[in-house]
Structure 1
Amino acid sequence: MNLPVVPFGKPRGERADAVRNRERLLQTAREMIAECGTQKVTMDGLAERAGLGKGTVFRRFGTRAGIFQALLDEDERRFQEQVMFGPPPLGPGAGPVERLIAYGRARIAFLLDNHGTARASLDRTKPIPVGGATMTRPHIRMLLGQIRPSPPYPDTLAVQLTAALEGPLLLYLSMDEAAAEPAPEAHPLAESWQNLIQRLLPEAHFPQ
Structure 2
Amino acid sequence: MNKFRVALAAAALTFTTATASMAQTAAPLKIGYTSVEYVLSQMPESKQIESQLKDYSTQLKNQLDAKGNEYRTKGEAYVKAQSTMTEVVKADKEKELQNLQQSIQEFQQNAELSLQQKQQTLLKPALDKLQKTIDAVADENGYTYILNSDGASPVLLHGPKEGDVSDLILKKMGITPGAAQAAAKVTTPAAAPASTPAAPSKTKTKTKK
Normalising by the smaller structure, the TM-score range is: under 0.3
TM-score (norm 2): 0.25
TM-score (norm 1): 0.25
Report which of the two structures shows the higher radius of gyration computed on alpha carbons.
2
